Amino acid sequence: MLTTLQEPKTGLSYKKVKNLLSPGATNTKTAKNDLETFILYMAPADTVKGLNLCPFASDGCKKSCLYSAGRGRFSNVQLSRMNKSKFWGYDRAAFYIQLANELLKIQDRAIKKGIKIAIRLNGTSDIDHLNLLQRYSGINFLDSFYNDLLFYDYTKNYNHVKKYLGTNYKITFSRSETNENDAYRILMDGGNVAIVFKDQLPDTWNGFEVINGDLTDLRYFDPVNVVIGLMAKGDAKKDISGFVL
């Protein structure tokens, strides 16, 4: 088990977190995944004062965020996610040592059971966790030894997608009302893009095939150069910013 000797920032507090990762079965969408899944939920954008966990979020994205959907509508769930965000912001070394230890346990579970396990580290955030995991724990979870863990995420960070294209970390770019040009470039370069639609999913978008992304959250096995079509849910149904098409 990894440990840290780094002291946390003083004057800032959070409660001890028992588990950073939650079983995918606790979420309506990840529960549809064919593989056992674990997901990390934190507080999105600038929900916690002084911490922005979604630096590329547009106004439309923030207003349409599913942070408060499902179990997220309960205050205790929101407080738990905010507390994890404070843990990340105030004691980063300890945060990533704990996250690394949880992933190592899941890796052992996958090896013992002879299965693959899906990991989504950005359930409601947009952070390069794998880079920070390596920095603070010294472990590169994209090393072939950890291929039993299938990492996937959504992001609005264009460089994040480009950085991990072709690796064991499958990242889907998320289109918003402010980054459509980047979305098109990602598709042209061999990546995938998630787009939220209001009334129905079209067959194509700008000449690229649209597949139904609501059938499963597991983006790891999607074909390349496709649009992941998602139907507007919750507050997104009322969007007028252009985030929803």
Average the pLDDT over 202-220 and give the result.
Answer: 96
pTM: 0.89
- pLDDT tens digits, one per residue of 139-161: 999 999 999 999 999 999 999 99
**Which pair of tokens denotes residue 164?**
């991990």
**pLDDT for residue 5:** 46
Residues 6+ apart with CB under 8 A from 187: 193, 206, 208, 225, 227
Q: Per-domain residue ranges for the chain?
A: 21-238
Burial class (CB in 10 A: 0-12, 13-18, 19+), 99: buried
| Mean of all residue pLDDT scores within the chain | 88
pLDDT at 224 exceeding the cut of 60: yes
**pLDDT for residue 11:** 53
pLDDT at 88 exceeding the cut of 60: yes
- pLDDT tens digits, one per residue of 30-83: 778 889 999 999 987 667 778 888 888 776 776 766 554 555 444 677 788 899
